[in-house]
Amino acid sequence: MIRYFIRRLLEAVPVFIAIVTAVFFMVRFVPGGPFDRERPVSPETLEALNKYYGLDKSLCEQYFSFLKNLSRGELGPSYKYGGWSVNEILAEKAAVSLQLGICALLIALALGLSAGFASAVLSKSKIGGALSGFSLLGICLPSFVLGPLLILVFALKLNAFNAMGWNAPSDAVLPSLTLAMFYAAWIARLARNGAIAETSRGYVRTAYAKGASRGRVYLVHIARNAIQPVVSYLGPAAAALLTGSFVVETIFQIPGLGRFFISSALDSDYTMIMGCVMIYSAFIIIFNLVSDLLLAAVNPRIASEMSK
Amino acid sequence: MSLLEVKNLKITFSARDTSTEAVKGISFRLGENESVAIVGESGSGKTVTAMSLTRLLPPPPACKVSGEISFDGTNIGSMSEKDLRKIRGRQIAYIFQEPSTSLNPVFTVGYQIAEAIRLHFPEEKNVREKVVESLREVGILEPQKRCDSYPYELSGGMQQRAMIAMALACKPRLLVADEPTTALDVTIQKQIIDLLKSVRQKRRMSLLLITHNFGIISELCERVIVMFRGNIVEEGACRDVLHNPRHPYTRALINCIPRLGARGRKLEPIDYDKL
């Protein structure tokens, strides 16, 4: 199992380098540069800026100096936010997005699994149908509708939370709910469909035939089989949640990483783009690996495949 | 007094606007320590009959069961869910057709057998010992080690042995074997039949064997019930029915058994128009 883990990490290295390389060249082929403004800058200033940031060198030289810095963990200065290095911005903003993302992930899991399994158990009754309808609503409702709706009800009408900002712990409630809803709904559907498909399996009949109660059959026998699609989905979902969301962070005015994904690309802030891309792809790689390991913990057959 | 008594059992399956009567009012008995086979082709209603004995069929409205099933004098139909669970596994245990899907893929064989023991004997302390013992009884080599095997690590024959071990673990009075050998190849079939035979002699338990294979019943059963399209068409001592079938369907079924060495004899399919 440990060998599998190490092998997967080693396999991820060339993938990571390929992504970084592709993005490095792609952003430089996009017309415009980091110092283009609405008001033109004088050619002398532009030349000085390019020289200062090393952008006057050839692409190849720039690429290798980027790799050299990367190997030391240096991502360089941001072109847009003077005086800030990309490392500093990432560290500060990612921490906020991470907190928000973890809250959202936990909410999504708790809500999604309980709603999903409940609607599977009650699939023949009206409550089950209603739950599955709600989950469809959760998938269809975009966060730019849900967020303002939550603000309207809980902040403006009920005065229970602040409408925006990121100061008190309670400020995390509305944005993480907004962020979590889509994922909760998706998890609920995966869990529900998984559980319903499992109920017609032979081992369920065996479990009833040996005298197990309905609760036991669902919680012990069906749950462990039905949770597998949810576990596989958790990898990409966690990566997306933890790197922040542009929409949610903008609605709730949260100083997270999400908006940098968009703004850095619009500003051609090359170093910042690279930082965002690297964080996102690292998260994807890591969380896919984590979800595969979790899957092995749930399903012994997958575990034995891995230790081969 | 008979251990199991079924009177006028009717089982109807309903979907949106169609309903199918799978079993059309059958009655039979099974004595203590008696072994009976229910024989019939696919769709004759034999498996649903077996399932209905402990109410394992889907609840109404999808499936409606009427008639009376009494086990050891108590009526199964009017029993509470809780009392029924005490019958399932403890008094009436099952073996199913497809061992590979009848075991839960994510739990060890030992865990699944132990579960049956824990459900019915919660005060039992040496559960693992009992599990190992039951695996040894069904002829699994290295039962200590096999306890921790997952179903996918066992062959089909071994899986069926594990299923039998699970069914026998709580010392049931009636074992319902629903096509226990159909999914296995011929040499393994013979082993499983011999195993069932020896266990039954040792345990003195009743057996209800559900099968479409006339070839295996003479070894295991004293009496045979022939089912056709939801009705019992013939019933009698195994030897009489095999040698002297009265109903044309029984005759046709027996004709379907391939015989070794019978050269030049074509296997005859059943001609339903003649029945």
Tens digit of each residue's pLDDT (9 = 90 or more) over B7-28: 999 999 998 888 899 999 999 9
In chain A, the residue whose alpha carbon lies closest to the alpha carbon of B166 is A210
Residues in A touching B86 (Cβ below 8 Å): 211
B257 against B115, higher pLDDT: B115
Q: Of B93, B104, B108, which is closest to A221 when you measure between CB atoms?
A: B104
Cβ contact B119–A301 (<8 Å): no
Q: How far is B159 from chain A (nearest CA, A)?
A: 12
Band (pLDDT 50/70/90 cuts) for residue B262 is low
Which chain B residue lies closest to A201 (C-alpha atoms)? B101
Segment B58-63 shows an average pLDDT of 85
State pLDDT tens for residues B136-188. Answer: 988 898 999 999 999 999 998 899 999 999 999 999 999 999 988 888 888 88
Percent of chain B with pLDDT over 90: 56
Q: Examine the pLDDT at A17 and tell me if it is beyond 70.
A: yes
Nearest-CB residue to B56 (from A209, A214, A300): A209
Q: For A24-52, what is the mean pLDDT? A: 81
Write the CATH number for A119. 1.10.3720.10
Q: Is A61 part of a structural domain of the chain? A: no
State whether residue B171 sits within 8 Å of chain A by CB.
no
Asked whether residue A63 is domain-assigned, the answer is no
pLDDT in tens, B61-105: 889 999 999 999 899 988 999 999 999 999 999 999 888 899 999
Mean pLDDT of A74-95: 85
Q: Are strands B63-71 and B2-15 parallel, antiparallel or unpaired?
A: antiparallel
A225 at B interface, C-beta within 8 A? yes
CA distance A7 to chain B (A): 25
d(CA B217, CA B221) in angstroms, rounded, equals: 5
pLDDT band at A3 (very low <50, low <70, confident <90, very high): confident
* Residue A179 forms part of a structural domain: yes
In 10 A of CB B92, how many CB atoms? 26
Tokens of B61: 């409205």
CB contact (8 A) between residue A206 and residue B98: no
In a domain, A242, yes or no: yes
Chain A contacts in chain B segment 104-143 (CB below 8 A)? 104-108, 112, 115-116, 119-120
Decide if pLDDT at B263 tops 80: no
Domains and CATH numbers, chain B: 2-91+172-274 (3.40.50.300)
Q: What is the 3-state secondary structure (H, E, C) of chain A?
A: CHHHHHHHHHHHHHHHHHHHHHHHHHHHHCCCCCCCCCCCCCHHHHHHHHHHHCCCCCHHHHHHHHHHHHHCCCCCECCCCCCCEHHHHHHHHHHHHHHHHHHHHHHHHHHHHHHHHHHHHCCCCHHHHHHHHHHHHHHHCCHHHHHHHHHHHHHHHCCCCCCCCCCCHHHHHHHHHHHHHHHHHHHHHHHHHHHHHHHCCHHHHHHHHCCCCHHHHHHHHHHHHHCHHHHHHHHHHHHHHHCCCHHHHHHCCCCCCHHHHHHHHHCCCHHHHHHHHHHHHHHHHHHHHHHHHHHHHHCHHHHHHHCC
Q: Is residue A36 part of a domain?
A: no
Q: Is B76 near chain A, with CB under 8 Å? A: no
User: pLDDT for A137-185, tens place per residue?
Assistant: 888 889 899 999 999 999 888 988 888 888 888 888 999 999 999 999 9
Neighbours of B31 (CB within 10 A): 15
In angstroms, what separates the C-alpha of B119 from chain A's closest C-alpha? 7
Task: Give residue A223's pLDDT.
Answer: 92
- List C-alpha distances in Å: B230 to A165, B8, B21, B49: 71, 12, 7, 9
ipTM of the complex: 0.91
Q: List Cα–Cα distances, A212 to A186, A235, B132, in angstroms.
A: 30, 33, 21
Inspect the interface and report whether the beta carbons of A209 and B152 lie closer than 8 Å: no
**Residue A245 domain flag:** yes
Q: Do A203 and B104 count as a contact with CB atoms less than 8 A apart? A: yes
Mean pLDDT, chain B, rounded, equals 89
Q: Work out the number of other CB atoms within 10 angstroms of the CB of residue B152.
A: 14
- Tell me if chain A has a CB within 8 Å of the CB of B228: no
Q: How high is the mean pLDDT of chain A?
A: 88
Choose the mutation target among B84, B96, B102 for the interface with A, i.e. most A CBs under 10 Å: B102
A160: closest CA among A148, A146, A174?
Answer: A174
**Smallest Cα distance from B104 to chain A, Å:** 5
Question: How many domains, chain A?
Answer: 1
Range of the domain at A181: 87-267
CA distance B218 to chain A (A): 27
Q: What is the spatial distance between Cα B134 and Cα B140, in angstroms, rounded to a whole number? A: 9
Chain B residues whose CB is inside 8 A of the A231 CB are none
